[in-house]
């Protein structure tokens, strides 16, 4: 039963929109938004908002108890490029933060949603049709933390019956809140640059093919998984989900169909390129489809056209 929800990382790219969707569904007061570094937007501040560091186990437990939370969407984490710069903090936030949430969830028997990532794979993983169950030997701190998170969620589910579920998200594309330092951020930046300068200097190579997803699909996926009938779930956690598999060159070509003068150039950032080169190009998400009916609504052309419309309105406001 999802009645009282806590969203950690609520000021982030995914958290800000997931919080809004959950508030619409469950009522504003039933969704507690928790953020740490960024302050609450006007939108988030319309409901309960708390400042919380997920590394503080006591605070995590107190918040879950005080608000009688039954479901935690635990999104607080450092993204891949930042985690390479700050590996120790990334470990602390991404792993110890999750452990604190799982421990509190065990005590209160809460459900937990955990976002894993295409980053949880590594160089030995098949890059096309990446299977649900496959080799995972990530060599980035972010990937190591996400894979460890997947394993911790499985452990708490099997050992302590915590209803821990999760998805392996691809790069997320959205216009409301900027991502905070990931390898797939180019796919968001490109839209701002296209509308504001009609040109973009991309930090990944033209042929860097990666899975991506538009935010409405990501929000729906997280909620649908948490509402899925547990009897139908074989995996529970770390479901591959994708909506499109694209390169910067393909994304630029699609944008050019709307903004004909748009130009893309490439100044490759070796750190982020090296990260992207270890990630799959196209995941097989048939288990998510079979077990809980996952289906993306936005492909490349629908996403680009909606992004450009919505971002243009935002930038003119």
Q: Print the binding letters for residues 124-163 with ligand SER: x by CB under 6 A, - otherwise.
A: ------------------x---------------------
User: What is the CB-side half-sphere exposure of residue 145 using CA atoms within 13 A?
Assistant: 27
Shortest distance, CB of residue 76 to ligand SER, whole angstroms?
Answer: 14
Q: What share of the chain is helix, strand, coil (3-state, %, to 5)?
A: 45, 15, 35
- State the Cα–Cα distance between residues 279 and 87, nearest whole angstrom: 19
C-alpha distance from residue 181 to each of 31, 73, 81 (Å): 26, 20, 6
Shortest distance, CB of residue 251 to ligand SER, whole angstroms?
Answer: 15
> Which CB, 69 or 241, lies closer to ligand SER?
241
Q: In the block, which residue shows the tokens 């309105």?
A: 313
- Written as six digits, the tokens of 277 are 């080169």
Query: CB atoms < 10 A from the CB of 67, how many?
Result: 18
Q: Cβ neighbours of residue 147 under 8 Å, at least 6 residues apart?
A: 116, 120, 136, 138
Interface with ligand SER, residue 182, by CB under 6 A = yes
Shortest distance, CB of residue 186 to ligand SER, whole angstroms?
Answer: 9
> Which CB, 113 or 169, lies closer to ligand SER?
169
Q: Print the binding letters for residues 77-96 with ligand SER: x by CB under 6 A, - otherwise.
A: --xx----------------
Stretch that binds ligand SER, among 34-42, 112-120, 262-270, 284-292 (CB under 6 A): 112-120
Interface with ligand SER, residue 240, by CB under 6 A = no
> Which CB, 6 or 77, lies closer to ligand SER?
77
Q: Which residues pair with 200 in a beta bridge?
A: 264
Angle at 22 between CA 21 and CA 28, to 5 degrees: 105
> Which CB, 30 or 145, lies closer to ligand SER?
145
DSSP string covering 208-240: --EEEEEHHHHHHHHHHHHHS-GGG-SS-S-EE
Roughly how many angstroms between the first and final C-alpha of the chain, as a whole number? 39
Interface with ligand SER, residue 119, by CB under 6 A = yes
Told to judge if 200 belongs to the known catalytic residues of this protein, a careful annotator would answer no
Catalytic residue among 67, 142, 175, 214: 142
Count of residues engaged in binding ligand SER, rule: CB under 6 A: 11
Specify whether the CB–CB gap between 184 and 212 falls below 8 A: yes
Shortest distance, CB of residue 81 to ligand SER, whole angstroms?
Answer: 6
Interface with ligand SER, residue 184, by CB under 6 A = yes
> Which CB, 23 or 272, lies closer to ligand SER?
272
Query: CB atoms < 10 A from the CB of 123, how many?
Result: 12
> Which CB, 152 or 275, lies closer to ligand SER?
275
Interface with ligand SER, residue 248, by CB under 6 A = no
Interface with ligand SER, residue 183, by CB under 6 A = yes
Catalytic residue numbers read 142
Q: Applying CB under 6 A, which residues contact ligand SER? A: 79-80, 117-119, 142, 169, 171, 182-184
């Amino acid at each position: 039963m999802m009645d009282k929800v806590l969203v950690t990382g609520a000021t982030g790219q995914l958290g800000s929109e997931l919080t809004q969707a959950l508030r619409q569904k469950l009522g504003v007061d039933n969704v507690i938004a928790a953020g740490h570094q960024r302050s609450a937007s006007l939108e988030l501040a319309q409901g309960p908002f708390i400042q919380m560091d997920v590394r503080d186990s006591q605070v995590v437990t107190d918040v879950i108890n005080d608000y009688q939370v039954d479901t935690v969407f635990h999104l607080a984490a450092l993204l891949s490029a930042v985690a390479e710069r700050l590996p120790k903090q990334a470990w602390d936030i991404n792993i110890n933060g999750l452990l604190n949430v799982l421990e509190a969830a065990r005590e209160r028997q809460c459900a937990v949603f955990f976002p894993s990532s295409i980053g949880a794979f590594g160089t030995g993983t098949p890059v096309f049709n990446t299977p649900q169950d496959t080799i995972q030997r990530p060599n980035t701190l972010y990937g190591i933390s996400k894979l460890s998170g997947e394993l911790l969620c499985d452990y708490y589910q099997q050992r302590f019956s915590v209803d821990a579920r999760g998805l392996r998200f691809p790069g997320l594309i959205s216009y409301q809140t900027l991502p905070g330092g990931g390898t797939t951020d180019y796919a968001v930046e490109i839209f701002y640059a296209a509308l504001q300068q009609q040109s973009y200097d991309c930090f990944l190579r033209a042929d860097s093919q990666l899975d991506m997803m538009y935010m409405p699909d990501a929000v729906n996926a997280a909620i649908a998984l948490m509402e899925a009938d547990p009897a139908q779930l074989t995996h529970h956690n770390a479901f591959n989900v994708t909506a499109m598999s694209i390169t910067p060159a393909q994304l630029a070509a699609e944008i050019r169909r709307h903004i004909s003068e748009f130009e893309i150039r490439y100044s490759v950032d070796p750190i982020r390129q090296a990260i992207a080169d270890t990630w799959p190009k196209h995941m097989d998400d048939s288990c998510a489809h079979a077990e809980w009916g996952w289906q993306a609504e936005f492909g490349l052309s629908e996403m680009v056209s909606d992004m450009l419309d919505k971002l243009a309105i935002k930038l003119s406001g």
